[in-house]
Structures are given as structure tokens and as C-alpha cells.
Structure 1
Amino acid sequence: MQTNSIDALNQQIKERLKSGQFFAIRRKADNWPAPDIAVLIETLDDEQAVVLFRLLRRAKAAHVFELLSLKQQQALIQALAGKRKRLADLLNRLSPDDRTAFFGELPGEITQKLLNMLNEKEQNAAVHLLGYPQESIGRLMTTNYVAVKNHWTVDQSLKHIRKHGIDSETINVIYVVNEDFKLIDDLRIRDLILAEPQTKIQELMDNRFVSLHADADQETAIQTFKKYDRIALPVTDSKGILIGIVTVDDVLDVAEDEATEDFHKFGSLQDRVLEPLQASVGFLYRKRIAWLLALVAVNIISGAAIASFEDTIQTMVALVFFLPLLIDSGGNAGSQSATIMVRALATGEAYMKDWFKLLIKECQVAILLGVTMAAGVAIIAGFRAPDIIPVVAMTMVCIVIVGSVVGLSLPFLFTRLGMDPAAASTPLITSIADISGVLIYFSLANWYLGL
């Protein structure tokens, strides 16, 4: 639905809410796609959002709830707190993976109260999923899937799918298990539809499948989905028992969260900042101050390095003119290199064993970049201070090489230390390049000018 359509509906809903035309709203909402209703609810004030949500039919309400922001979900739960039956019905209708994600963001005592509203089956599923580590694949999976036994016929399997597939997240892929419920294969639904009714499932199997481990990190799921281009993947425990599936929509949400987290870390934020418009000044301050203070301490070293070359600066004041240009070039080259490496490590395009090979290549690229940039700065120096053209040119080449090597190496170092490579942030790389640049520049100047 386009923005202007949502705006028109927004105004229409507000008018009908004021006039109490609730039946008309419900009838109209029956024909709206759930994503459009979710967008509309986000644009309404709290009171109108609650009224509209309560007018939705139960199945659609559950779907819409899964698409809302955490803040809006919490507001609706609070508004429905006095409607225990309606709230319990909503929670029971949520898909296990979305419900787990929601529960995981709530304080423990609230989660416990909501768990008590679930029926026995859904409560067992919720407790099971919440038992996995926070960033594990187990937290992402849903227990709503369809599996068939390898000794069944196609006809038996299709009857089973018709009976139980209604609650499944997807039936594009059907999972095959043995008597112990150990995963042994997966089949496309079309393979079953096109096969003869009395064909045994084991006759359709090729025993080639891809699965995820419940205790593995969620980033593993992202890489596996990218590699195999699937819409869903089975999840197994340590014994190979099928315990759930992960769908691509949940993995896309995780990928977005990971990208957001890396983006903020690369900007020297301690943690990701969600909804900055709603965040308090104190919260934003706490997220930014630690890294900035650390970088101030690092930059003091840069200032001390400049102070140690005071005599050199007094002898050739023109050197100061090129200082910002040169050290910024090193920081910029390092930032470019780090950005490439962080992404390569995150996407599995590069591994720790590739560091030396990439270092050699980066040095070659850095030399070409440095020489090209040195030619440019030499032309500028020719107009300003011809006497120091060699110093400026040599410094540019050296600084670009050092900056590029630092930018490439820090993400690998952080990975080796078990830290997030995105924490090798641009300001940190720039600060290191600044210190190196000052030392290289004035050392070369001392040597060349015989000071």
C-alpha cells in the first residue's frame, strides 16, 4: 500500500473511530493485508491503535501483532492486560518463534505472567525455546513444521500434511524422519505431489540435506541461508533429532539486527541504538561517551607526538599546512580497508587463514593509491612550499600504506581475540593512523631537511 493510501486510510479510520463506526472499520479491515494494518497501527495514537487492534479478528490480530515494533507490541499487551481471555488467545495464536522473540525482550516477571496464560502445548514450546542461549538458532526456530516418516507412502504423507500442515510455517519443504525422529532427508512438496500415491517416501530420498544446530550462533543461520538459498531450514539437537525449523523471514530480521549492530559499532557506539527519536538523552549519552573518552586518550598521544617535533615545525612552518591533509588520508585509506574486511569476515568471504594473502594484495593496492595521491599532493606543494615536495610525497605513500595495513589487520586481530571485528571502528583506525602519520611525517622531514 502506498504512503498516500495509508494517509487517506489513517484519516478515514480516525473519523470512523470518533463517530463509533466500529462495524464498518472491522469489515474494511477484513480486506486489508496484515502488513498494511501494522503500518497503519504504528501511525495512530495509542488509544486509537488499541481500538483498531481489538476490532481485528483473532487470526488476523495475531499476524498483525507479529509485524509490529516491540514498543507497539508492549503497548498493546499493556492495554489488553485487563482482558485476560483476549490476551491469552492472542499469545496462543502467535507463532512460537515470534512469541519467543517478544518474550525475550520483556522483564522476567512479565514474561512469567504471560507464560502462565498459554495453554499446555504452547507453554511447553515457549519454555523450550526460551531455554536456548540468547543469540542461538534455538531462539529463532519454530516448532510449527510438518515431518513424515521414511516408511510411509506418498498417500499417507499427503493425508498427514493436509491434517497438520495448517499450523505449519511452511509446507514448501517436508522433512523426513525415522522412527526415532532423527532427520534423514527433506523433500520438496512438488516431489510428493507428482509421485505415485503408493510410492514409499524412502524411494524419493537422496539423503542429501542441510540442517542447523540449535545451539549454534544465529550468524551461522544467516550464512547457511545465503549459501544454499533456502526459504526454510531444519534445526536439530546434538543427536540429530529434528526439533524445529527456521524460516527465511526470521533470518532476514536477524541479518538486519546484525547489520545495525555492526554499523553502530563501526561508529564507535557501545551498542546499537534503536529508535533514536524515542531514546532519552541520558541513554544516547551513555552509549557514546565511553568510546569517545577512550579516543580522546589515544589522540593525546598524537598531540604529544606533534609537541615532540616543535623544533622541526619552527624551522619549517609550511610543514603544518600539509599535516591535516596527510594524516586524514591515512585514516581514510584505513577506513576503506577496514570496511571491506569487516564485511568479508561477516559474510564468510574471508577467513583468518586468508590474512597474509590479503595483506600482500592490500599492500600492492596501497602503494598504487599512495603514489597516485602523492602525485596530487606534490602538485599542491609545488605552489605552496616547493622545498618539501619530496617529504610530502614520501609521507603520503607511507601513510596510505600504514593506514591500509592497520585497517585490514585490526578486524582480523579482533576476530582472533574473539571480539566482534566491527569493533575495529573507523575512529579507532583513524586515531592510530593519525599517530603513525605524525611520526612518519616529521621523522621524514627531520631526515630530509637535516634537522
Structure 2
Amino acid sequence: MQDTSETITKETLAGQSGDLAQERAPEIVEALNAREPADAAKLLRSLPAEKAIEVLDLPGLDNTCEILAELPKDTAVSLLSGVSDDRAADIFKELVEPLRTTLLNGLNPETRNVISGLLAYPERSAGSIMTTEFVSVPSSWTIAEVLHHIRMVERTRETVYSIFVIDPVKKTLIQAVPLRRLISGDPHANVLTAAPARKPLMISPEADRMEAARLISRYDLLAVAVVDGPGHILGIVTVDDVIDAIVEESTEDAQKFGGMEAIDEPYLRIGFGEMIKKRAGWLCALFLSEMLTATAMQSYQSELEKAIVLTLFIPLIMSSGGNSGSQATSLLIRSLALHEVRLRDWWRVAVRELPTGIVLGAILGLIGVVRITLWQTLGLFDYGPHWVLVAATVGTALIGIVTFGSLCGSMLPFILKRIGFDPASASAPFVATLVDVTGLVIYFGVAAVILRGTLL
């Protein structure tokens, strides 16, 4: 009975692999992601080698390491030898020992050296996402020679849309020539005649990968060269590498905005313990911070006993300050990431946010006053004989709290970046918690001034 079950499973997988072989690589990735690593490995192994390499080359494949662990060593090494060098480096970063060393040693020396070199670059650097599979030609070649070379190496290069021209003696980068300029150029002319008049854009391998993204976005490039100090080209960062980096960065920032550590796996693939670990720390920190709110309210216990009506507006006051702070934080984190503002611009941001917070607070304060007035005059609620002073307290407090929230939310990213933390850590929950405490102090401070001699 067991043998029959295994036979059915093998036949089913064989039939599925035949169907999958006709699909595009992204569709195959989705199919493999829906299966356990052992079954996914069997399906991957049954695909034609070229198709399997194309699938493994896509960053969207989940459990890549587990799938490779299920494959025979020779098969895994063969597939890794076929994928692009930058993708192979990403895979090796995730592999655990001893599988990592075993597969790395199985590669041919040239591929092993390239991948080891890529692994040596700092995480999130341009060097860590660059590919060494690019088209480079000596500056002495003609356009016809370059085009012939492209036809010969096209299948082994990640992109052929940008051709990098090298000094034949110094081996330094001279120019980057778009393929379309070569196609339209005189075949007998030197390759440099098709080059743009401007100097090629370059980036250091130690530079942040988002700097490469900014260059590619700003200058509408398909690839940017990564060079060392003397100007030797080490590799290139392509637009698809940048897109993957942007998606990863955006995902991490979105998770941090929600008040948790970034996760690097799909939601359904995260273990229960790992989920608790990622979320519990920030949740406990925020909970402990919120205790300060309770402490602040205890300090104003006597005022609350004398003017119970003030408690009705505490949620309104606290949420308004937190919301204004979250808005400012989101704007500044994005601006810092895009280098629209720098650390030295903090005072310009403060000067901008101060009047902005006052106006926004005045708008909310006016709405609050109108609301209290309408409820009082229409008989929907009785705020007491001093309702006008209560309205004035709420309106004035909102101006102060929203202004403080805007300033606090805009300055926190600068402070965190200055001390070496990710500005995205100034997430909305963290800002809201901070503003909640100060908001209560401002609210009851304003109440003590306006309501002194009446309710207080």
C-alpha cells in the first residue's frame, strides 16, 4: 500500500512538472511556493536545467535554502553555477553551515571566488547587490567588434543594454555606452564615437545600495557601474537589483512604522516563536511607555475630581497629538531616505513645522470649540455653567498639543539618525506614545490656567 502511494505521488509530481515546464518562471515560483520544500525540490529537479536555473534566479522563491538542502549536492551545485552571481551570493547569505561551505566548495574556482568576493561586501551596500556579469570592451575596438562581442556573450550576461568601455592599459572605466547608440552608429567607427559626451556615473562598492537606486532613478539608467578607488570596474547594479532593494526597504519600513522589528520571510512562513520575538519587544516597550500616561493622569487626580468634564476630551486630545506627530514622522523619514533633507537641515524643518503645527492645531481647536458649542446649545449634552471656558481650554490645548506633536514627530527621525539608529524606528506608535504623555501635561496645564477660580 505504501509503495502504491509513493508511485502515485511520483506520477503526480511528474505530471505537474511537465505542465510547469511550459509556464513562465514567475508562475513556476508561485507553484513551488505553495508546496513543502521536499516536494518543491522534486519539482524543481524535474524541470529542464535551463528552466530550473531561471526559476532559482528569481528572488521571489521562498524557502530557497530548504529546497537546495533537499536536492542532491551535484544538482544544487549545478543550478547555483548557472544563476547570476549576485543572486547566488544572496542565496549563500541565507544558507546555514555545513551546507553553505559544502555547496560553495563544489563550485568551480572562478565562480567561487566571485561569490566569495560579493559576500565580503557589507550588507545593504552597492557591492552586495552588484553583478559581475556585465559587458565590457576595450576602448580600441570598433562598434562592429563590440556588437559581435555582445552577440557572443549575450547569454552569459545579466544585461547587454549598457556596455562599459575600459582603458586597455590601465583597465579603468572610461565610458558607458547605451546599446541603442551602438546599433545606430557607424560599424567601422571607434566605440567611443557612440559614447555620450558626459562622464559615466559610478558608485563605490561600500556606498549604500539606496544611493545606487537614487542614481538610477535620477538619471534614468538601466545600470550604474561599481568601481574601486583607482577606477577599475568591479561590477554593475542593474535596475532590477534596485527594484528588489527598494521593495525590501519599503517592506521593512512599513513593518517598523507598525511598531515591530522587520521580518525577512513571508507571513505564513514565519514560525510562531519568531513572530512573538519580532513583535513582543516593541509591544512591551510601547506598553511601558504608555505607563507614563497613567502616571501623568495620576498627577492630575485632584483636577480630574474637580472637573470630571475634562476627562471627556482626553481621547480627543491624545489622538490629535499622536496623529500630527505620525504625519510629520512619515514625511521626514521618507525625505531623509530620498536625501531631500539632510541632518544639517533640522532647523529648517523645525522652522517649517512650527507654523504648520500652529495652523493645524488651530483648525482642530476650532472644530473642537464648534462641537462643544453645538452640543451645549442644542441640548445634546450639558457641559456646565462654565462650558465656554471648557471649550476655550480644549481649543487652546489642541493648538499646543498638535504643534508639539508636529515638532516632536519631525525631530525624532533626525535624532535617531544622528545617534546611528534607523529613522524608521521613529514609528507611528512610538511617536504617539511620546506625544500622549506630553499631551496630557499640556492639556491639564492649559486647564489650570483657564479654569482657575471656576472649575479648578
Q: Which one is further off, 217-226 or 270-279?
A: 270-279
User: Is 1:142 aligned with 2:144?
Assistant: no
Identity in percent: 31
Correspondence for 2:407: 405
Aligned-residue offset at 1:26 = 5.7
Alignment match, 2:118: 129
Structure 2 partner of 1:257:
248
Q: What's the TM-score once normalised by structure 1's chain length?
A: 0.90
2:288 maps to which of 285, 292, 297: 297
Q: Return 312-321 or 204-213, whichever deviates more.
A: 204-213
Contact persistence 1:373–1:396 (CA under 8 A): yes
Change in Cα spacing, 1:241 to 1:34, as seen in structure 2 (3 Å) is same
Q: Is 1:182 the equivalent of 2:172?
A: yes
Query: Cα–Cα, structure 1 residues 195 and 273, in superposed 2: closer, same or farther, change >3 Å?
Result: closer
Residue 4 of structure 1: aligned partner: none
Q: Deviations over 1:81-134 (max 9, x none)?
A: xx3332221111011000000101122432111111111221111111111112
TM, length-normalised to structure 2: 0.89
Structure 1 runs (4+) greater than 6 angstroms displaced: 21-24
Alignment RMSD, CA only?
Answer: 2.1
**After superposition, where does 1:278-427 map in structure 2 within 5 Å?**
278-382=269-373, 383=376, 384-385=382-383, 386=387, 387-427=389-429
SS at match of 1:171: coil
Q: Are residue 234 (structure 1) and residue 213 (structure 2) matched?
A: no
Extract unaligned runs of 5+ from structure 1.
1-15
Match of 2:26 in 1: 35
Query: In the alignment, what sits opposite 1:49?
Result: 40
CA shift for structure 1 position 273: 5.5
Check 1:243–1:46 CA distance in 2 against 1; reply closer, same or farther (3 A cut): closer
| Structure 2 residue runs without a partner (length 5+) | 1-6, 377-381
Which residue matches 1:109?
Answer: 98
2:55 to 49, 58, 64: 64
Equivalent-residue separation in structure 1 for 2:10 and 2:152 (angstroms): 44
Shift of 1:172: 0.7
TM-superposed deviation, 1:389 = 1.1
1:265 touches 1:272 (CA, 8 Å); kept in 2?
A: no
Q: Is the 8 A contact 2:59 2:87 kept in 1?
A: no
Q: Is the CA contact 2:65–2:94 (under 8 Å) kept in the aligned structure 1?
A: no
Distance 1:91 1:17, change over 3 A: farther
1:89 to 75, 78, 97: 78
Deviates more, 1:417-426 or 1:45-54: 45-54
Residue 100 of structure 1 aligns with an amino acid whose one-letter code is A
Write the letter of the residue equivalent to 1:276. Answer: Y
- Higher alpha-carbon deviation: 414-423 or 45-54: 45-54
Higher alpha-carbon deviation: 399-408 or 200-209: 200-209
Q: Which of the numbers 70, 75, 85 marks the counterpart of 1:79? A: 70
Once the two structures are TM-superposed, the CA of residue 168 in structure 1 deviates from its matched residue by 0.8
- For residues 307 and 120 of structure 2, the distance between their equivalents in structure 1, rounded to whole angstroms, comes to 67
1:195-214 per-position Cα deviation (integer Å, ceiling 9, x unaligned) = 22221123333252112211
- Whole-Å separation in 2 of the counterparts to 1:163 and 1:404: 59
Q: Counterpart of 2:419 in structure 1: which amino acid?
A: L
Aligned to 1:164: 153
Q: Are 1:442 and 2:444 matched, yes or no?
A: yes
Post-superposition CA distance 1:323-362 (Å, at most 9, x none)? 1111111011111111111111112222223322232222
Deviates more, 1:440-449 or 1:285-294: 285-294
Verify the 8 A CA contact 2:32 2:61 in the aligned structure 1: no
Deviates more, 1:355-364 or 1:430-439: 355-364
Q: Give how far 1:42 is off.
A: 1.8
